A and B are shown apart, each in its own frame.
Chain A
Amino acid sequence: MDTETGGEKERPRDDEIQAFHNQIRAADAEKLEFVGDKEPLSVLEDEYKAGSAVFLAKLQILKENYGSIRRARGDGNCFFRSFMFSYLEHLIVTQDEAEIARVEKSIEICKQTLIDLGHAEFTFEDFLGIFVEQLQSVIQGKETSISLDTLVERCRDQYVSNYVVMFFRFVTSGEIRRRAEFFEPFIQGMSNMSVVQFCRSSVEPMGEESDHVHITALSDALGVPVRVVYLDQSGDINDKPVTVNNHDFIPEGMDTSVDPYVILLYRPGHYDILYRRENPANVEPTILEQKN
């Protein structure tokens, strides 16, 4: 980056650096599907056995309300990927056709936003189309209906999965720019970038990681509430009872007491999908374990 100190001759070209980054990332990513299988939350205990006490204490608290996790690949798209699967899975389970009709209206507004911002429709319509296709196929009893297993397959398929992620990135970028005044202070709190620069460098390209700004924008634009549960090192186990922090992203105009069904587990730098316990009766043994 520094033109003065590093003889330019030794510096690899940008495309070479990029190719190398991609190579590392690709090798890493292939160890895990875009979205994994549903696993009991106890797999995290094994993972953190030797880890921090705060983590383990928080995990015990999590287990009171949440039973399973589904991992997303750590390729920088994990928020969008988790959102996609969690939302579509919710629809396939609930068969909530009214919600699909509602979100399709939101998508129309997102489309208009992108056009108003000067994007040619053909630059995003394929991506939009793939998402709408998934929405329409989760309702059962039609020729195009798909099972949960097929949904998993599709969310693991590079074409479908990446197209939906890309569509969410467009929607997120459009929403941030449409409400630039609202998002500007948050963006400037994190970086020196303008709203447009932020969207160009941290939202629109694949593989750029997400944070509060992205989640707020996508949740607002699609009208889908999202809960993020934080499993991090904050808090001191010796100090006071450890608590697990949640943050609910409630779209503008929605009742704030709504209970989000898209629930994501955040560990620093990464999002996975979290599931509520299916059988709350199992809570007790967990609490006992914790006390022992």
Chain B
Amino acid sequence: MSTPSRKRLMRDFKRLQHDPPAGISGAPQDNNIMLWNAVIFGPDDTPWDGGTFKLTLQFTEDYPNKPPTVRFVSKMFHPNIYADGSICLDILQNQWSPIYDVAAILTSIQSLLCDPNPNSPANSEAARMYSENRREYNRRVREIVEQSWTAE
């Protein structure tokens, strides 16, 4: 059935296929346009460099009026990412706007990796380490990067 949200998601998908921003990819699961798998590559020349982080995006029929639920499947260590992989990012919550498409969502998450928001900690250990011991923080990030290659 073609609802406004499904139609919109098809267009989101087309854009992501034809004009993908650097370092991200995403596609709906074979039999379900409302559930997407995505991969974000860690930005070059940062501790995240080389990481391939998997996510899922669950959309509802309210999309694009409501944001999808986005969650990292890969294990993460980041001030704004909860232990269950869910993400604390303004545009995925109260500052959502339909002007964002899937490409824009993934790009925003990618920039969040290197540019955490210390005001809304979702992982207090990561937040503390990020501000107090950057060297150790970076080491933990490198661990996560390595795990991202092997984890299934």
Contact = CB atoms under 8 A, between A and B. Distances in A.
A126 B98 CA distance: 10
Contacts of B94: 14, 18, 21, 205
A58 B75 CA distance: 62
Interface residues of B toward A: which range? 20 to 34
A175 to B, nearest CB: 14
Contact of B95 (A122, A169, A200): A200
A174 to B, nearest CB: 10
Contacts of A205: 94-97
B82 interface: yes
Contact of B97 (A13, A14, A169): A169
Interface stretch (B50-58, B121-129, B137-145): B121-129
Contacts of B134: none
B93 A204 contact: no
A120 B91 contact: no
Interface string B11-34: 110010000000000000000000
Contacts of A124: 98-99
B7 to A, nearest CB: 8
Interface in A165-180: 166, 169-170, 173
A122 B97 CA distance: 14
A120 to B, nearest CB: 5
Main SS of chain B's interface residues? loop
Interface in B70-99: 82, 86, 88, 90-91, 93-99
Given A14-B88, A123-B64, A166 B98 contact: yes
Contacts of A120: 11, 15, 101, 103
Nearest to B98: A166
Contacts of B95: 200-201, 204-205
A18 B95 CA distance: 10
A115 to B, nearest CB: 12
Contact of A3 (B64, B91, B121): B121
Nearest to B88: A14
Contacts of B128: 3
A77 interface: no
A13 B98 contact: no
A13 B15 contact: no
Contacts of A8: 121, 124, 127
A206 interface: yes
Contacts of A201: 90, 95
A126 B82 contact: no
Given A18-B93, A18-B94, A123-B64, A1 B100 contact: no
B98 A1 contact: no
Contacts of A173: 99
B74 to A, nearest CB: 20
B120 interface: yes
B65 interface: yes
B15 A204 contact: no
A255 interface: no
Given A8-B121, A14-B120, A200-B91, A3 B127 contact: yes
14 contacts: A13-B88, A14-B120, A21-B94, A119-B99, A120-B103, A122-B12, A122-B101, A123-B98, A124-B98, A126-B4, A201-B90, A205-B94, A205-B97, A206-B65
The 10 A-B residue pairs with the shortest CB-CB distance in the complex, in nearest-first order: A204-B97, A122-B11, A8-B124, A205-B95, A205-B97, A18-B93, A18-B94, A123-B101, A14-B88, A123-B99
Given A13-B88, A122-B11, 12 more contacts: A3-B121, A14-B93, A15-B86, A122-B12, A122-B101, A123-B98, A123-B104, A126-B4, A170-B99, A200-B97, A201-B90, A204-B99
